[in-house]
Structures are given as structure tokens and as C-alpha cells.
Amino acid sequence: MLDSLTSRLAAVVKTLRGQGRLTDANIQDALREVRIALLEADVGLQVVKDFIARIKDKAIGEDVIGSLTPGQTLIGVVHNELTELMGRRNDALNLAVVPPAVILMTGLQGAGKTTTAGKLAKLLKEQKKKVLLVSCDVYRPAAIDQLATLAKQVGVEVFASSSSQKPEEIAAAALDYARKHYHEVLIVDTAGRLAIDDAMMHEIRQLHRILGPIETLFVVDAMQGQDAVNVAKVFSEALPLTGVVLTKLDGDSRGGAALSVRHVTGKPIKFVGVSEKLSGLEPFHPERLSARILGMGDVLSLVEEARRNVDVDEAEKLAKKVKSGKGFDLDDFRNQMRQMKKMGGLNALIDKLPSQLAQAAQGGAVDDRVVGRTVGIIDAMTPQERAKPEIIKASRKRRIATGSGVTVQEVNRLLNQFEQMQKMMKMMGKGGLQKMMRSVKSGFPGLR
């Protein structure tokens, strides 16, 4: 996501060197690059014009202080303005209403409303809310079944409906059921169309009147680019939207929708879809996305992801082994791979690192599919082999390779990698961590 925008803005920093002050002359070329980068990311023209004007107004005359370079000073201004553009604060869901709090999901067909409804139910269940899901989409084949399947996976109740009913009847019955069974939240999935039409808008207005939702969320596909913003504007004029959910931000999107939907509609982005998994819905934090766009990474989101998914007991066991410098075996190695997979995989972790560290990590990184094969190879070993890899000789390697569906060379590669990791763990246990950090810092002056 937004890779080209990030690389272009990183290049802007390099254009301003040796200057003691930001002036009209020395930032003209830099701002031209920022303008091109935003337009290529599919940000609306008027949004870009306003954005550049504000940056220029605030940047000119800005002193370059301390150890900062002019480029870094300009990036600081751009970061603040990007955050303002997308909304300075994170707008959380408003559920302060007599239960059930109704959340109405709206948007075009294919934007991901049904999946987002399931993800949102999971998020609210984790917050100890009693959630009820219902589908009012009587037009799309299997839409009702899809929501029922998602509800089962998440572990929340779904209100039964059928394609023979009218959407308004389903909505009224679901609301009555939620009240009688003390559900705290009712999430209503609605029908979409391939394009906006009068029938669709009439139906969604009727559902809004019947349900009286506290939250009306517009779900939009970020891969639609500028079209997404235009569609959001039409919906915001027809309905009292309370927020936007941007889906598929993990896809090959240019990201323009994320930067301009708030500016155009006046509605906050409340959530973003970052993966196809049911856990792949995150609250939208404008300042964090701004930092990621500018190559600063998103360490806070990485920490939150770790808190949600990392097994604390396993982490403590590993820490003790590292401290002692012994006992680290293939079971531990496999557990670390699984923990990483829970956090979205290697690529998802790298995406949240600052650009310098991300480039270094990618230089020696392996594909997420390779991680899956590595776990498969370890699974094909016996407990004794995982505890004592040194006993794995030729015949055992052939059996492990056959059992995991890989070549003997791949088994050898894994064992060599593990041997290197064991050596590193021993070094860390003997106080070598400080030496290792010094060597890392020598390669990254910004870490000193």
C-alpha cells in the first residue's frame, strides 16, 4: 500500500541539503514532487491544490533547528498536514445509546460490506459486547449464508432471514429480536448495487428510518481510487453518514481515497481493512498512516498487534532461554514462526517498520510462503529431532523431506538457518546483544 507515494516523498528529503532555512526558492521543486506524488496516488486535484497551498504557507520561513536537515523539516510539516487532511484524531464508534446500538453498513456491491460486518462483530465481541448480525441483502446470491458463516466463525449470533422477505421486514424483526434478547449491538448488512441508482438509495433510506442507527458506516473499496471518493460523496448527501470504512488497503491500491475521502465528504474514516482475515480490521489512526506514508513506520500498531496475538507465556519461556544462552530448539523456532503468522505474516510486520529498517529486513527476508513451508518441515520431524537437530542425518532428512513435500536441499537449508540462529541466541545470552546493537546502529546513523 502507498509504496510509490512513500518512495517519492522519501526522495523529496534528499533534494534539500545544506540549507539553513526553508524558502520559496528552495522548496519549489520539492513541493512539485509532493504534488506529482499525490496526483499519482489518485488524490483529487482540488484536494492536492489545497494541501500544497497549506504546506507552502507553513513551511516557508521555518527554521532548520538542531540536527534536522531542511528535508526533514519539510517532512515534519508534510506529516502534520497529512494528519490534518485525514482527520487529526481517531473517531471511535459511538455506542452511547439505549441498547441495542444499531450499526448500519452501506456501500456499493463488492466493497466488502458483509466481510466488514463480520470483522466488526469480532472486534466488538473482543470488547465484551453482545452482538447480533443480520443480513438485509435479499438480492445477492448467498449473501445471507455468507453472513451466517462469518457469524459462526466469529462466535456471535445471527438473525435468520431469507431472500423471500422484504429488507424492511427483516430490519424491523431483527431490531425487535435484539431488544427482547438484550443484545448490546445490532450490525445490519445491506444490499449494494454495481452503481448508484434510485431504487438502492430509496431502500437504504427506508432502512435508516426503521432502524434509527447510531452509526451509519459507508464501506468503500480503497482500490477504486478517486471513484471511491465520488461515491462516498453521493452517499453522504443521501444519508446522515457517521463514518467511512476503507477496505482492501492491503491490496495494490494507490491510496488516494485514504487521503481525500475525509476532505471531500467531511466524514471521518473510522476503520480500515488491512487483510482478508477476520482480524484484519483496525481503527483508523491518521497520524500513524501519515508516518507510514513518510517512511517513519507504525511501531505503535506493531506493538498493539503483538499485545493481541503474542502468547505471553511462550514469549517469557523464550526470553529465559535467550538469557541462559541454551535450550533454544526447533520447537521454539516453529512457535516464533506461528506467532509471526498470527500478526499477519512477515510482510505485514515489515510494512509497519521505518523505511530504513524495512529495507534492511527485506534484504534478508523470506517470502511468507517460505515461512509456511518451514513450519511444515518442522512438523514432519519427531519430537526428538526437534529437540536435538544434530541427530538428523541423511536417512532422516529424506523422510522429513517426503513427509513435508519438499526437497532434501530445503531441509538442509532450514537446518543451516537454525544453526545460525542458535549461535546468535548463545551470543545474546553471553552479553553479545549490546555488541550486536552497536553493529546495527553503525549501519543506521539515525538510531544513534
For 359-398, the pLDDT digits (tens) are 444 444 455 567 778 888 999 999 999 888 889 999 999 9
d(CA 114, CA 189): 6
Q: Are 187 and 105 in contact (CB under 8 A)?
A: yes
Query: How is 189-233 classified by DSSP, letter by letter?
Result: E----SS--HHHHHHHHHHHHHH--SEEEEEEEGGGTHHHHHHHH
Cα separation, 207 vs 411, whole angstroms: 58
pLDDT computed for residue 1 by the predictor: 46
Q: How confident is the model at residue 166, as a pLDDT?
A: 93
Task: Output 361 or 290, whichever has higher pLDDT.
Answer: 290
Domain 101-294 has CATH 3.10.129.10: no
Residue 92 CA to residue 59 CA, distance in Å, equals 31
pLDDT tens string 156-175: 999 999 989 999 999 999 99
Rounded to an integer, the average pLDDT of 111-138 is 93
Measured between alpha carbons, how far is 376 from 290 in angstroms, rounded to an integer?
Answer: 38
Instruction: Please tell me the distance from the alpha carbon of residue 37 to that of residue 62, in angstroms, as a whole number.
Output: 23
Note the pLDDT of residue 396: 93
3-86 belongs to which CATH class? mainly alpha
Over 60: is that where the pLDDT of 338 sits? yes
The pLDDT, as a whole number, for residue 225 is 64
pLDDT at 421 over 90: no
What separation in angstroms does the CA of 411 have from each of 315, 356, 379, 418, 419?
A: 26, 32, 12, 11, 12
Q: According to the model, what pLDDT value does residue 200 have? A: 85
E strands in 24-100: none
- 193 vs 130, residue with greater confidence: 130
- The percent of residues in the chain predicted with pLDDT above 70, rounded, is 66
Per-residue pLDDT tens over the stretch 221-253 = 877 766 777 787 788 888 898 988 888 776 555
Q: Is 378 helix (H, G, I), strand (E, B) or coil?
A: helix
Residue type, 158: V
pLDDT of the residue at 364: 45
Give residue limits of the domains in the chain. 3-86, 101-294, 303-447
Strand order across the 101-106 sheet: 157-159, 131-135, 185-189, 101-106, 215-221, 243-247, 269-273, 281-283
Q: Is the pLDDT of residue 447 over 50?
A: no
Among 29-43, 219-233, 279-293, 304-318, the least confident range: 304-318
Whole-number Å distance between alpha carbons of 177 and 102: 13
- Angle, helices 256-265/45-59, rounded to nearest 10 degrees: 90
Fold adopted by 303-447: 434 Repressor (Amino-terminal Domain) (1.10.260)
| pTM of the predicted structure, to 2 decimals | 0.63
Q: Whose grid coordinates read 536537515?
A: 69
Tell me which residue of 48, 73, 50 sits closest to 62, measured CA to CA: 73
Q: In this predicted structure, what is the pLDDT of residue 361?
A: 43
Mean pLDDT across 292-318: 54
Whether 128 shows a pLDDT value over 90: the answer reads yes
61's grid cell: 520561513
Higher pLDDT pick, 311 / 102:
102
